[in-house]
Amino acid sequence: MSTAISVRGLSKHFGDVRAVDDLDLDIADGEFFSMLGPSGSGKTTVLRLIAGFEEPTAGRILLGEEDVTRRPPFARDVNTVFQDYAIFPHMSVRQNVEYGLRVKKVGKAERRRRAEEALATVRLEGYADRRPHQLSGGQRQRVALARALVNRPQVLLLDEPLGALDLQLRREMQIELKEIQREVGITFVFVTHDQEEALTMSDRIAVFNEGRIEQLATPVELYDRPASAFVAGFVGSSNLLQGEAARDLLGVEGSFVIRPEKLQLVSEAPTESGRLSAPGVVREVVYLGASTTSVVELDAGPTVTVSHQNTDTSIDAALERRDQRVVVTWRRDHLVSLGSPDPAASPEEETA
């Protein structure tokens, strides 16, 4: 598959702050690519550099085969969906959508036809003559999307476009965005700080931290094989076992993470091979509707979070377990090593 965007040695410094620090990145054609990270991690800056709103301190940006590093935004074949939508308030929905075609001197009939088409793609037929202030947040978001899509750019850049929507609408739009992306086949580069959003929609995700990529992987890989404690903590929740606790519980040196839903609460330590267990006391039980989360303080020291689906009536039993002694058990191959001082002893070896 050919490359839509290549970034080589890209840096952007604001004074002493290294917003983006020597970044290399390849985004494939037709991919739904997400840049995930906390605020200030540099993900939005990378997007703005690709769009051309910022000039890099160093490095190159290639769009397909072309070097666009020094080109202004209007000379790059990418379009942006802005966080605040940036709908022109003095224009109708149609004028907004036609704007890109109008400045590129596309004929009126063609313009009209493509605008209708784009509005249909985002399910806003019949809204062409509305004014922006007559639209809801979700509808404005769709107008912004149509206004970008109508230009059929090589790459569509989306800067936290769902951030301002309420949860219900956001979930709907996540699925819809993915569908639209599949339909139009344009490369989407999506910036978000919402890990669930990234996991739902993306083909691949780059997790950003302090101007660098911590890990670049598919959603499944990212969740099941986080490369660092940062990724494990940022993408989903996780239990970190390291140092003495790792030695006591696992019998090996190093740092390991395990997801809460991979842990189980039982009354007696299991004997089957490949399972590890540790006794502890339940400190807190949190009922979350679909699942219940228990916080267990292990005798070995660390506190772990255990999550299980509320598939039966065991919730009452779970709630009663507060302050009770339990045994936490997990499969050895569910442990993820974050690199250990002695790789040979890593339990990852068994599962590889």
Partner 1 sequence: MLWLGVAYLGALAALLITSLWTQDDFTGTIQRAWTLENFRTLFTVEVYRTITVRTIAIAALVTVVDVVLAFPIALYMAKVASPRLQRLLVIAVLMPLWASYLVKAYAWRGMLSADGPIAWIASPFGLGTPGYGLVATTITLAYLWLPYMILPVYAGLERVPDSLFEASADLGGGAWTTIRRVVVPMAFPAIVAGSIFTFSLSMGDYIAVKIVGGTGQLLGNVVYDNSSTANNLPFAAAVATVPIVVMLGYLAAARRTGALENL
Closer residue to partner 1, CB minimum distance, 57 or 83: 83
Q: Are 161 and 176 in contact (CB under 8 A)?
A: no
CB of 246 to partner 1, least distance (A): 48
10/148 with CB nearer partner 1 = 148
Return the number of the residue (101 or 250) whose C-beta is nearest partner 1.
101
> Of the two residues 14 and 287, which places its CB atom closer to partner 1 in the complex?
14
Three-class secondary structure assignment of the chain:
CCEEEEEEEEEEEECCEEEEEEEEEEEECCCEEEEECCCCCCHHHHHHHHHCCCCCCEEEEEECCEECCCCCHHHCCEEEECCCCCCCCCCCHHHHHHHHHHHCCCCHHHHHHHHHHHHHHCCCCCCCCCCHHHCCHHHHHHHHHHHHHCCCCCEEEEECCCCCCCHHHHHHHHHHHHHHHHHHCCEEEEEECCHHHHHHHCCEEEEEECCEEEEEECHHHHHHCCCCHHHHHHCCCCEEEEHHHHHHHHCCCCEEEECHHHCEEECCCCCCCCEEEEEEEEEEEEECCCEEEEEEEECCCCEEEEEEECCCCHHHHHHHCCCCEEEEEEEHHHCEECCCCCHHHCCHHHHC
CB 149, min distance to partner 1, A? 11
Identify which of residues 128 and 326 has a Cβ nearer to partner 1 in the complex: 128
* Shortest distance in whole angstroms from residue 53 CB to partner 1: 5
Beta carbons of 263 and 239 less than 8 angstroms apart: yes
Tell me how far, at minimum, the Cβ of 120 lies from partner 1, in Å.
20
Q: How far is the CB of 144 from partner 1 (least distance, A)?
A: 8
Q: Which is closer to partner 1, CB of 64 or CB of 73? A: 73
Where do contacts with partner 1 occur on this chain (CB under 8 A)?
Answer: 51-53, 72-74, 78-80, 82-84, 86, 88-90, 99-100, 103-104, 147-148, 151
If the CB atoms of residues 83 and 291 are measured against partner 1, the closer one turns out to be 83
Shortest Cβ 323–partner 1 spacing (Å): 53
Min CB(50)–partner 1 separation in Å: 11
